[in-house]
Structure 1
Amino acid sequence: MKPYNELSFRGKILRLRKLCIKALDDYPIAVARVRYLTTESTTMFRVDAEDGQKYVIRIYSEADSSLAENKTEMFWLAALARDTDLRVIQPVARRDGDYISLVSMEGVPHEKRCALYKWIPGTTLAEHVSVKNYHQLGAIMAALHNHAEGLTLPEKIQPKRWDKTFYFPGEKAVYKTSEFSHLYTSEQIETLDRAIDLVDPFLANLYQRKESPFVIHGDLHYWNVHISRGKLYVLDFEDMVMGFPEQDISISLYYLRDEPAYTELASAFQAGYITQREWPHLPKENLNTFWLARMINFTNYAATAFDTDEDARNYITARCEEIEKRRGIK
């Protein structure tokens, strides 16, 4: 058998499809067809069942999440399905009642973590950005916050905290390593260093206040929301963190920052949010600092995210220029 790392992309996908079929034996569905969907931070396949139902099976990335984080995601999703009528992605329990399958297969390195979800209809909100839809999204986020604030987490559930720029387990400042520093100019490295010096104390200080943090989505932007027949559905809870409402809000608004109608969209989002929950204290300078944290994170990640050095450098240059501009915003 050809080693996995020597396979073409298509070859890897075909082998991972076989692994998914093996994982699906753990679930109470009769599988008719398994088709590749996409690879982002995780790899996903569409599953069609013999009874006509559709699902998505996800293979988690070892680099982007841990088993403990996956179990945290499943705990909240199961609680949301039990306690609310919010339109969020629903995990499918295995025959033994658990949600995560640990699967090993010859020809695929390392044990893989898989989860099965019910199919979400529609297309991404990114294709339907509007005042009306962002009003609805604001209300959904507030409802998620209301539920999470009243949720008691078992001791074994310990979500990560967004209390520093690089907050994912094992995440490193790769822009300063010998392997990737050639992608960054000395001026860009200095820009990132100065921005981190500003952002890290701000994020750490959030967790020193009296209010208790609770579970938040942590990545609720328009690529992680589907719209179908005018209704929004929230996906991808993989990056959930123990945090505060303003952190979640800042991420949603970050992706709108270059929209010509940003002011109207942000106002609609806030108007929707306050139909369910009081708007948190979020002055412009705090929102900007959250955005800086996001930009630094992405600029660091760019070193490994692009296929060519040229594409990586172009992205890094654009973000560092934006970071320099935003560092002075008050």
Structure 2
Amino acid sequence: MSFTELELIEIAHTALGSYLLDVNEVSLINNEYNATFKVTAADSTNYALRININSPRSAENIRAEVAWVKFLENVDGILTPRPIANRSGKFVTTVTHAHSGRELNCILYSWLDGEEVGDEPTLEQLHALGQAMARMHASSKDFVLPSDAALPSFQDPFWETEDFLLSDKSKLDSGEKDLISAAFKKIISRTDALYSRENPQIIHADLHGWNMKWHNNQLSIFDFDDSGIGLPIQDIATALYYLDTPEQDEAMLNGYTSVRQLPPHTKADLEMLLIHRRLMLLNYLYETKNQEHQEMIPTYLEETLRRLRVFLDS
């Protein structure tokens, strides 16, 4: 179900009652996949409250996210928000929406200064992204989740999300499903080969310009809601998917290699991972209740099918 802005603000105030905060103002700043609020306390300190209104993430998933973000706080060269515990000392606050009976998981973070990088990152910002990503990969290769936390495996073709492309819930015709099924067979085979050569680890899995801020020539990273257990090359490919030019790709990859070597991979591996990302986003479009995103389906599907034909012929 979708929520009105008034309902979301009421839910936010209910959640904030669980924190040791004297709240002065609550503003809805994002209402797409999840709802995000800017919260200003009486002492003028700002916070970011996220309410998972669409995300299927469990409390165990969010505890894993928090544990990793807290770990990254101590890694040089990586700037992230700080998770804020509630009155009970817990980082996940669950609120029940009275009208629907739904339980909504909420998390409060410190506020990051600066502007979102957005769709037009500079080469300097992309170089910084590559460096930050490399530091995350290097520092987290042996990171162990707490016993009360869990994350999805990205070896799974749908990253352990619900399948809206090939299952009984699919709205695609038989020809479209056959093409997507053939692509997934190729993707699964090559992904399994990558996993046989490299140990999986925790990765962000959604590093694009709307999950980054730029302030005083420094990059900060937020929105760890999609993090999971995968391969660094999957993280790299996901970030590359959102770039438009070879110069942008080069800037990000040069930033990465200034810190550590790229994971072993072939050009075909990277092309496969880019196609996989597009299929994951197509699956999301069929899953989401966001009307603006749903309206993208016809054009996005047509281009996806074109790319799949090229991918399968290569």
TM-score (norm 2): 0.91
Partner of 1:324: 309
- Secondary structure of the corresponding residue to residue 36 of structure 1: strand
The percent identity for this pair of structures is 26
Q: In structure 2, what is the Cα distance between the partners aligned to 1:263 and 1:64?
A: 35
Corresponding residue of 1:175: 165
The answer for unaligned runs of 5 or more in structure 1 is none
Is contact 1:125–1:223 with CA below 8 Å preserved after alignment? yes
Gaps of 5+ in 2: none
Contact kept, 8 Å, 2:64 with 2:146, in 1: the verdict is: no
Q: How does 1:19-98 map to 2 (within 5 A)?
A: 19-61=11-53, 63-84=55-76, 86-98=78-90
Distance 1:88 1:327, change over 3 A: farther
Give the RMSD, CA atoms, in angstroms. Answer: 2.2
Structure 1 runs of 4+ with >6 Å offset = none
1:254 to 224, 241, 266: 241
Selected match of 1:283 from 251, 266, 275 = 266
**Residue 118, structure 1, aligned to residue 116, structure 2:** no
Matched, 1:236 2:228: no
- Alignment check: 8 A CA contact 1:302 1:315 kept: no
Q: Distance in 2 between matches of 1:310 and 1:94?
A: 38
Describe the superposition over 1:66-114 as per-residue Cα deviations: whole angstroms up to 9, x where unpaired.
1111111011011122454521122112233211101124224311111
Determine which of 179, 193, 200 is the counterpart of 1:191: 179
| 1:260-313 Cα distance to aligned partner (Å, 9 max, x none) | xx2222222122112221211122100011111111222223224463876422
The answer to whether the 8 Å contact 1:137/1:269 transfers is yes
Q: Which of 293, 300, 303 matches 2:276?
A: 293
Verify: 1:142 aligned to 2:134, yes or no: yes
CA distance in structure 2 between the aligned counterparts of 1:16 and 1:205, rounded to whole angstroms: 44
Q: Shift in Å at residue 141 of structure 1?
A: 0.4
Give how far 1:253 is off.
0.5
Equivalent residue, structure 1, for 2:291: 307
Q: Distance in 2 between matches of 1:130 and 1:20?
A: 34
Cα shift at 1:20: 1.3
More deviation in 153-162 or 136-145?
Answer: 153-162
> Any idea what the Cα deviations from partners look like across 1:190-228, whole Å, max 9, x if unmatched?
22111011111222333333x422111111122211222
Number of matched residues? 312
Aligned-pair CA distance for 1:178: 5.7
SS of the equivalent of 2:101 reads: strand
Normalised to the residue count of structure 1, the TM-score between the two structures is 0.87
What is aligned with 1:217? 204
Amino acid at match of 1:114: C
